[in-house]
Structure 1
Amino acid sequence: MRLSLLTFSLISLTACSGGGDSSKAPSSTKAEKSATKAAEPKKAAAAPVAQKAAEAPKEEAKPAADGTAAAKPGIAIPEGATVVTVNSSDSMQYDVKEIRVKAGAKVALTLNHTGKLPKSAMGHNLVILAAGADVMTFVTAATSAAAEDYVPKSQAESVIVATKLIGGGESDTVIFDAPAAGTYEYLCSFPGHYAIMKGKFIVE
Protein backbone atom coordinates (compact mmCIF):
# COMPACT_ATOMS: atom_id res chain seq x y z
CA MET A 1 0.00 0.00 0.00
CA ARG A 2 2.80 2.42 0.91
CA LEU A 3 4.60 1.55 -2.33
CA SER A 4 1.49 2.38 -4.34
CA LEU A 5 1.11 5.76 -2.61
CA LEU A 6 4.78 6.59 -3.23
CA THR A 7 4.48 5.71 -6.89
CA PHE A 8 1.35 7.83 -7.22
CA SER A 9 3.09 10.81 -5.62
CA LEU A 10 6.04 10.58 -8.00
CA ILE A 11 3.71 10.45 -11.00
CA SER A 12 1.82 13.52 -9.75
CA LEU A 13 5.04 15.51 -9.24
CA THR A 14 6.25 14.61 -12.72
CA ALA A 15 2.94 15.70 -14.26
CA CYS A 16 2.99 19.03 -12.41
CA SER A 17 6.57 19.70 -13.47
CA GLY A 18 5.82 19.00 -17.16
CA GLY A 19 2.69 21.15 -17.09
CA GLY A 20 4.67 24.13 -15.78
CA ASP A 21 7.13 23.95 -18.68
CA SER A 22 4.36 23.75 -21.27
CA SER A 23 2.63 26.82 -19.82
CA LYS A 24 5.85 28.88 -20.07
CA ALA A 25 6.63 27.83 -23.67
CA PRO A 26 3.54 29.44 -25.24
CA SER A 27 4.31 32.67 -23.36
CA SER A 28 7.82 32.79 -24.89
CA THR A 29 6.44 32.07 -28.37
CA LYS A 30 3.88 34.89 -28.11
CA ALA A 31 6.62 37.38 -27.15
CA GLU A 32 8.72 36.39 -30.16
CA LYS A 33 5.74 36.77 -32.49
CA SER A 34 4.97 40.23 -31.08
CA ALA A 35 8.57 41.36 -31.64
CA THR A 36 8.47 40.07 -35.22
CA LYS A 37 5.21 41.89 -35.95
CA ALA A 38 6.60 45.12 -34.48
CA ALA A 39 9.64 44.93 -36.78
CA GLU A 40 7.62 44.25 -39.95
CA PRO A 41 5.95 47.72 -40.22
CA LYS A 42 9.36 49.41 -39.99
CA LYS A 43 10.66 47.37 -42.91
CA ALA A 44 7.53 48.13 -44.90
CA ALA A 45 7.84 51.84 -44.17
CA ALA A 46 11.49 51.91 -45.23
CA ALA A 47 10.82 50.25 -48.57
CA PRO A 48 8.85 53.16 -50.17
CA VAL A 49 11.58 55.64 -49.15
CA ALA A 50 14.27 53.57 -50.83
CA GLN A 51 12.06 53.19 -53.90
CA LYS A 52 11.47 56.95 -54.14
CA ALA A 53 15.17 57.63 -53.86
CA ALA A 54 15.85 55.22 -56.69
CA GLU A 55 13.07 56.69 -58.86
CA ALA A 56 14.04 60.36 -58.27
CA PRO A 57 15.10 61.90 -61.62
CA LYS A 58 18.61 63.24 -61.92
CA GLU A 59 18.85 67.04 -61.99
CA GLU A 60 19.97 68.36 -65.35
CA ALA A 61 23.22 70.30 -65.51
CA LYS A 62 22.67 74.05 -65.43
CA PRO A 63 24.70 76.46 -67.44
CA ALA A 64 27.41 78.24 -65.59
CA ALA A 65 26.55 81.50 -63.90
CA ASP A 66 28.82 83.18 -66.04
CA GLY A 67 26.67 81.97 -69.00
CA THR A 68 29.77 80.16 -70.76
CA ALA A 69 27.59 77.22 -71.43
CA ALA A 70 25.34 79.39 -73.77
CA ALA A 71 28.15 81.60 -75.24
CA LYS A 72 28.15 82.04 -79.09
CA PRO A 73 31.40 82.04 -81.07
CA GLY A 74 32.53 85.43 -82.37
CA ILE A 75 33.80 86.30 -85.82
CA ALA A 76 36.84 84.23 -86.71
CA ILE A 77 39.87 86.47 -87.21
CA PRO A 78 42.02 85.25 -90.12
CA GLU A 79 45.52 84.16 -89.17
CA GLY A 80 48.02 86.96 -89.66
CA ALA A 81 45.34 89.66 -89.89
CA THR A 82 46.03 93.17 -88.62
CA VAL A 83 43.64 93.66 -85.70
CA VAL A 84 42.37 97.20 -85.13
CA THR A 85 40.04 98.21 -82.28
CA VAL A 86 38.35 101.59 -82.05
CA ASN A 87 36.17 102.63 -79.09
CA SER A 88 33.37 105.17 -79.31
CA SER A 89 31.30 106.67 -76.52
CA ASP A 90 28.29 108.74 -75.49
CA SER A 91 30.55 111.80 -75.58
CA MET A 92 30.63 111.44 -79.38
CA GLN A 93 34.31 110.54 -79.65
CA TYR A 94 36.57 107.93 -81.22
CA ASP A 95 39.53 107.03 -79.02
CA VAL A 96 41.72 106.60 -82.13
CA LYS A 97 42.38 109.41 -84.59
CA GLU A 98 44.80 107.53 -86.83
CA ILE A 99 44.96 103.93 -88.06
CA ARG A 100 48.00 102.51 -89.87
CA VAL A 101 48.09 99.25 -91.85
CA LYS A 102 50.10 97.66 -94.65
CA ALA A 103 48.83 97.72 -98.23
CA GLY A 104 47.03 94.49 -99.11
CA ALA A 105 46.95 93.33 -95.47
CA LYS A 106 43.92 91.50 -94.13
CA VAL A 107 42.38 93.86 -91.58
CA ALA A 108 39.97 92.97 -88.76
CA LEU A 109 38.42 96.24 -87.60
CA THR A 110 36.25 96.26 -84.47
CA LEU A 111 34.17 99.23 -83.35
CA ASN A 112 32.98 99.23 -79.74
CA HIS A 113 30.36 101.54 -78.24
CA THR A 114 31.30 101.96 -74.58
CA GLY A 115 28.34 104.22 -73.78
CA LYS A 116 24.79 103.42 -72.69
CA LEU A 117 22.59 105.44 -75.04
CA PRO A 118 20.67 103.55 -77.77
CA LYS A 119 21.68 103.89 -81.38
CA SER A 120 18.56 105.92 -82.13
CA ALA A 121 19.95 108.70 -79.92
CA MET A 122 23.74 108.15 -80.02
CA GLY A 123 24.44 105.62 -82.74
CA HIS A 124 27.96 105.21 -84.07
CA ASN A 125 29.54 103.54 -87.06
CA LEU A 126 32.93 103.72 -88.74
CA VAL A 127 33.03 104.32 -92.47
CA ILE A 128 36.30 104.34 -94.45
CA LEU A 129 35.91 106.40 -97.59
CA ALA A 130 37.58 105.55 -100.88
CA ALA A 131 40.33 107.69 -102.39
CA GLY A 132 38.90 110.70 -104.16
CA ALA A 133 35.49 110.48 -102.42
CA ASP A 134 33.86 113.83 -101.67
CA VAL A 135 33.41 113.78 -97.90
CA MET A 136 30.68 116.44 -97.73
CA THR A 137 28.69 114.85 -100.55
CA PHE A 138 28.76 111.54 -98.70
CA VAL A 139 27.88 113.09 -95.32
CA THR A 140 24.96 115.03 -96.81
CA ALA A 141 23.55 111.92 -98.47
CA ALA A 142 24.02 109.92 -95.26
CA THR A 143 21.86 112.33 -93.26
CA SER A 144 18.71 111.13 -95.02
CA ALA A 145 19.66 107.43 -95.09
CA ALA A 146 18.46 106.30 -91.64
CA ALA A 147 16.98 103.10 -93.11
CA GLU A 148 20.46 102.19 -94.36
CA ASP A 149 22.28 102.91 -91.06
CA TYR A 150 23.35 106.24 -92.58
CA VAL A 151 25.49 104.54 -95.23
CA PRO A 152 23.53 105.33 -98.40
CA LYS A 153 23.61 102.80 -101.21
CA SER A 154 23.74 105.70 -103.63
CA GLN A 155 27.26 106.38 -102.30
CA ALA A 156 28.48 102.76 -102.40
CA GLU A 157 31.39 103.62 -104.71
CA SER A 158 32.65 106.11 -102.12
CA VAL A 159 32.95 103.47 -99.38
CA ILE A 160 35.79 100.98 -98.83
CA VAL A 161 34.16 99.40 -95.77
CA ALA A 162 31.68 100.34 -93.05
CA THR A 163 30.63 98.82 -89.75
CA LYS A 164 26.97 98.60 -88.89
CA LEU A 165 25.40 101.31 -86.73
CA ILE A 166 25.63 100.35 -83.05
CA GLY A 167 24.28 101.64 -79.73
CA GLY A 168 25.64 101.62 -76.19
CA GLY A 169 27.21 98.32 -75.12
CA GLU A 170 27.34 96.95 -78.67
CA SER A 171 30.19 96.21 -81.06
CA ASP A 172 30.74 95.21 -84.66
CA THR A 173 33.66 93.72 -86.56
CA VAL A 174 34.39 93.93 -90.27
CA ILE A 175 37.15 92.08 -92.12
CA PHE A 176 38.54 93.47 -95.35
CA ASP A 177 41.69 93.82 -97.46
CA ALA A 178 43.56 97.09 -97.08
CA PRO A 179 43.55 99.17 -100.28
CA ALA A 180 46.58 100.61 -102.07
CA ALA A 181 48.98 102.81 -100.18
CA GLY A 182 47.60 106.22 -99.38
CA THR A 183 45.73 108.25 -96.78
CA TYR A 184 41.98 107.76 -96.46
CA GLU A 185 39.28 109.40 -94.36
CA TYR A 186 37.18 107.52 -91.83
CA LEU A 187 34.18 108.95 -90.03
CA CYS A 188 30.90 108.35 -88.20
CA SER A 189 28.03 109.06 -90.58
CA PHE A 190 25.32 109.43 -87.90
CA PRO A 191 23.78 112.91 -88.37
CA GLY A 192 25.86 115.63 -86.71
CA HIS A 193 28.75 113.36 -85.70
CA TYR A 194 31.14 113.88 -88.59
CA ALA A 195 32.47 117.20 -87.32
CA ILE A 196 34.04 115.45 -84.29
CA MET A 197 34.15 111.74 -85.09
CA LYS A 198 36.69 111.37 -87.86
CA GLY A 199 40.28 110.28 -88.44
CA LYS A 200 42.91 109.13 -90.91
CA PHE A 201 43.27 105.59 -92.27
CA ILE A 202 46.87 105.41 -93.46
CA VAL A 203 47.97 102.54 -95.71
CA GLU A 204 51.72 102.12 -96.09
Structure 2
Amino acid sequence: MILRIALALLLSAAAPLAFAKTCSVTIESNDAMQFDKNEIKIDAACTKVELTLRHTGKMPATAMGHNWVLAKTSDFRPVAIAGGRASAADAYLPKDDARVIAHTGLIGGGESTTISFPTARLDKGGDYTFFCSFPGHWNVMKGKLVFG
Protein backbone atom coordinates (compact mmCIF):
# COMPACT_ATOMS: atom_id res chain seq x y z
CA MET A 1 0.00 0.00 0.00
CA ILE A 2 2.79 2.43 0.92
CA LEU A 3 4.54 1.60 -2.35
CA ARG A 4 1.38 2.45 -4.33
CA ILE A 5 0.99 5.77 -2.54
CA ALA A 6 4.65 6.64 -3.11
CA LEU A 7 4.34 5.71 -6.80
CA ALA A 8 1.18 7.81 -7.17
CA LEU A 9 2.87 10.81 -5.55
CA LEU A 10 5.91 10.42 -7.77
CA LEU A 11 3.79 10.21 -10.93
CA SER A 12 1.66 13.20 -9.99
CA ALA A 13 4.78 15.29 -9.28
CA ALA A 14 6.31 14.33 -12.64
CA ALA A 15 3.12 14.88 -14.67
CA PRO A 16 3.67 18.60 -15.38
CA LEU A 17 7.17 17.84 -16.65
CA ALA A 18 5.84 15.18 -18.99
CA PHE A 19 3.58 17.73 -20.66
CA ALA A 20 6.13 20.56 -20.88
CA LYS A 21 7.09 21.32 -24.47
CA THR A 22 9.68 23.84 -25.66
CA CYS A 23 9.26 25.13 -29.19
CA SER A 24 12.19 26.73 -31.01
CA VAL A 25 11.94 29.64 -33.42
CA THR A 26 14.65 31.47 -35.36
CA ILE A 27 14.14 34.87 -36.95
CA GLU A 28 16.68 36.91 -38.89
CA SER A 29 17.13 40.65 -39.24
CA ASN A 30 19.35 42.61 -41.63
CA ASP A 31 20.85 46.00 -42.44
CA ALA A 32 17.77 46.90 -44.54
CA MET A 33 15.58 47.02 -41.38
CA GLN A 34 13.75 43.78 -42.16
CA PHE A 35 12.84 40.59 -40.37
CA ASP A 36 12.80 37.50 -42.59
CA LYS A 37 9.36 36.55 -41.23
CA ASN A 38 6.22 38.63 -40.95
CA GLU A 39 4.40 35.91 -39.01
CA ILE A 40 5.47 33.39 -36.38
CA LYS A 41 3.16 30.53 -35.42
CA ILE A 42 3.50 28.88 -32.03
CA ASP A 43 1.56 25.67 -31.37
CA ALA A 44 -0.75 25.83 -28.35
CA ALA A 45 0.93 22.66 -27.01
CA CYS A 46 4.12 24.68 -26.43
CA THR A 47 4.66 25.69 -22.82
CA LYS A 48 7.88 27.56 -23.53
CA VAL A 49 9.36 29.31 -26.56
CA GLU A 50 13.06 29.44 -27.29
CA LEU A 51 13.58 32.27 -29.76
CA THR A 52 16.84 33.02 -31.54
CA LEU A 53 17.35 36.37 -33.26
CA ARG A 54 20.16 36.58 -35.83
CA HIS A 55 21.42 39.81 -37.34
CA THR A 56 22.68 38.87 -40.80
CA GLY A 57 23.89 42.38 -41.60
CA LYS A 58 27.29 43.94 -41.06
CA MET A 59 26.49 47.24 -39.31
CA PRO A 60 27.15 47.60 -35.56
CA ALA A 61 24.40 47.77 -32.96
CA THR A 62 24.99 51.51 -32.49
CA ALA A 63 24.05 52.21 -36.11
CA MET A 64 21.68 49.37 -37.08
CA GLY A 65 20.92 47.44 -33.92
CA HIS A 66 17.98 45.08 -33.75
CA ASN A 67 16.06 43.32 -31.05
CA TRP A 68 12.87 41.27 -30.93
CA VAL A 69 10.05 42.44 -28.70
CA LEU A 70 6.65 40.81 -28.15
CA ALA A 71 3.56 42.64 -26.91
CA LYS A 72 -0.18 42.52 -27.38
CA THR A 73 -1.02 44.35 -30.58
CA SER A 74 -3.01 46.92 -28.57
CA ASP A 75 0.17 47.65 -26.53
CA PHE A 76 2.69 47.53 -29.39
CA ARG A 77 2.60 51.21 -30.42
CA PRO A 78 2.61 52.69 -26.87
CA VAL A 79 5.49 50.38 -25.87
CA ALA A 80 7.46 51.30 -28.99
CA ILE A 81 6.94 55.03 -28.43
CA ALA A 82 7.96 54.72 -24.76
CA GLY A 83 11.01 52.75 -25.86
CA GLY A 84 12.13 55.72 -27.93
CA ARG A 85 12.73 57.57 -24.68
CA ALA A 86 14.88 54.72 -23.29
CA SER A 87 18.54 53.97 -23.98
CA ALA A 88 20.39 51.33 -25.95
CA ALA A 89 21.44 49.79 -22.62
CA ASP A 90 17.73 49.20 -21.96
CA ALA A 91 17.22 47.80 -25.49
CA TYR A 92 15.08 50.88 -26.22
CA LEU A 93 12.32 49.58 -23.95
CA PRO A 94 10.75 51.11 -20.87
CA LYS A 95 12.15 49.40 -17.76
CA ASP A 96 10.00 46.71 -16.13
CA ASP A 97 7.04 47.40 -18.43
CA ALA A 98 4.42 44.68 -17.88
CA ARG A 99 3.15 45.18 -21.44
CA VAL A 100 6.36 43.62 -22.77
CA ILE A 101 5.76 39.87 -22.87
CA ALA A 102 9.29 38.97 -23.98
CA HIS A 103 12.31 40.64 -25.59
CA THR A 104 15.89 40.09 -26.61
CA GLY A 105 18.77 42.43 -26.07
CA LEU A 106 20.05 44.65 -28.85
CA ILE A 107 22.46 43.04 -31.33
CA GLY A 108 24.53 44.23 -34.28
CA GLY A 109 25.60 42.69 -37.57
CA GLY A 110 26.90 39.14 -37.35
CA GLU A 111 25.55 38.62 -33.83
CA SER A 112 22.77 36.45 -32.47
CA THR A 113 20.94 36.10 -29.18
CA THR A 114 18.52 33.56 -27.74
CA ILE A 115 15.80 33.98 -25.14
CA SER A 116 13.27 31.65 -23.57
CA PHE A 117 9.86 32.65 -22.35
CA PRO A 118 6.80 30.79 -21.07
CA THR A 119 3.63 30.81 -23.12
CA ALA A 120 1.55 31.25 -19.94
CA ARG A 121 1.05 34.96 -20.76
CA LEU A 122 -0.26 34.17 -24.25
CA ASP A 123 -3.93 33.53 -24.97
CA LYS A 124 -4.85 31.06 -27.67
CA GLY A 125 -6.00 33.15 -30.63
CA GLY A 126 -4.75 36.37 -28.98
CA ASP A 127 -3.53 39.32 -31.04
CA TYR A 128 0.25 39.77 -30.67
CA THR A 129 2.82 41.88 -32.49
CA PHE A 130 6.57 41.37 -32.53
CA PHE A 131 8.82 44.28 -33.47
CA CYS A 132 12.25 45.85 -33.24
CA SER A 133 12.28 48.73 -30.76
CA PHE A 134 15.44 50.42 -32.10
CA PRO A 135 14.41 54.06 -32.77
CA GLY A 136 12.71 54.38 -36.14
CA HIS A 137 12.60 50.64 -36.80
CA TRP A 138 9.32 49.59 -35.20
CA ASN A 139 7.15 51.11 -37.94
CA VAL A 140 8.58 48.72 -40.55
CA MET A 141 10.19 45.89 -38.54
CA LYS A 142 7.15 44.15 -37.18
CA GLY A 143 5.05 41.06 -37.60
CA LYS A 144 2.32 38.94 -36.08
CA LEU A 145 2.72 36.14 -33.56
CA VAL A 146 -0.04 33.52 -33.65
CA PHE A 147 -0.46 31.27 -30.61
CA GLY A 148 -2.77 28.35 -31.02
- Please name the residue that 2:114 is paired with: 173
Task: Give the Cα–Cα distance (whole angstroms) in 1 for the partners of residues 116 and 45 of structure 2.
Answer: 12
In structure 1, the residue matched to 2:128 is 184
Query: Where does residue 71 of structure 2 map in the other structure?
Result: 129
Is contact 1:104–1:177 with CA below 8 Å preserved after alignment?
Answer: no
**Cα displacement (A) at 1:187:** 0.5
Q: Does the 8 Å contact 1:125/1:164 carry over to 2?
A: yes
Q: TM-score, normalised to structure 1's length?
A: 0.57
Matches within 5 A, 1:1-204: 80-103=21-44, 105=46, 106-130=48-72, 132-133=74-75, 135-146=76-87, 147-153=89-95, 156-178=97-119, 179-181=122-124, 182-204=126-148
Amino acid at match of 2:143: G
RMSD: 1.6
| Paired AA for residue 95 in structure 1 | D
* Structure with the larger helix share: 1
Number of aligned positions between the proteins: 124
SS at match of 1:107: strand
The secondary structure found in structure 2 opposite 1:125 is coil
Quote the Cα distance in structure 1 between the aligned partners of 2:108 and 2:34: 13
CA distance in 1, matches of 2:131, 2:86: 15
Tell me how far apart the structure 1 counterparts of residues 44 and 101 of structure 2 sit (CA, whole Å): 13
Change in Cα spacing, 1:137 to 1:148, as seen in structure 2 (3 Å) is same
Asked if structure 2 preserves the Cα contact closer than 8 Å seen for 1:90 and 1:116, the reply is yes
Counterpart Cα distance in 2 of 1:132 and 1:93: 22
AA aligned opposite 1:198:
K
CA contact (8 A) 1:130 1:157 kept: no
Cα deviation code 1:107-139 (max 9, x no counterpart): 110000001100000000000003642x22211
Conserved 8 A contact 2:21-2:45: no
Runs of 4+ in 1 over 3 A off after TM superposition: none
Identity %: 45
Gaps of 5+ in 1: 1-78
Q: TM-score, normalised by structure 2?
A: 0.78
